[in-house]
Amino acid sequence: MNRLEELRKSFGPGLVTTLFVGESAPDSGRFFYSSDSSLFYAMKRAFGSKETFLEDFKRKGFYLDDLVLTPINKLERRERSRRREEAVPELAKRLVEYKPKAVVVVMRAILPMVRQAMRMAGIWYEPFCVPHPAFGNWTRFNDAMTAIIDDLPVADGSKQKD
């Protein structure tokens, strides 16, 4: 297991109520759970920008996993697509383990693969989907998160933006 996956696992809640699924950790080395990625800053802002954001995220039963567990964002389009497709069965296995009550896909391009993994895992509800905040999509991401945030199940009974 690489160091990013070890870090991700350290933030795993006992009960995953809402699973966020991104494409992969970025090739830059920045990572959501390292508190230094565009996704981290956008999520922190959407949920109320507290200093304890990652701890609150975990306490609520929120967890971010990725479709592909190695960076693919710098790959040529055909190879990137192939790696996404190949990752579906492994994501399905993780979904069986997590048993999330809600799934939020954080990149429209991976929605078909996440849906496929959900079906393989026996999950039949429709996932939420928001654009990734990179490449000028901060406002669209924030608007999409604002629209769904109150509907996300939490483990501790709190409100998402408390």
Instruction: Render pLDDT for 46-77 as a digit per residue (tens, 0 to 9).
Output: 998 778 899 999 999 999 999 999 989 899 99
Answer yes or no: is 9 within a domain.
Answer: no
Token pair in block for residue 100: 């999330």
Total domains in the chain come to: 1
pLDDT digits (tens, 9 = 90+) for 85-105: 999 999 999 999 999 999 999
Domain membership of residue 74 (yes or no) is: yes
pLDDT (0 to 100) of residue 157: 62
Q: Does 11 reside within a domain?
A: no
Q: What is the pLDDT of residue 158?
A: 59
> Over the chain, what is the mean pLDDT?
92
Task: Identify whether 73 is part of a domain.
Answer: yes
Domain membership flag for residue 37: no
| 119 lies in some domain | yes
Secondary structure of 63-88 as H, E, C letters: EEEECCCCCCCCCCHHHHHHHHHHHH
Residue 64 structural domain? 17-26+46-151
Q: Which helix (H) or strand (E) holds 7?
A: helix 3-10
DSSP 156: S
* CATH number, domain with residue 146: 3.40.470.10
Q: Say whether pTM exceeds 0.85.
A: yes
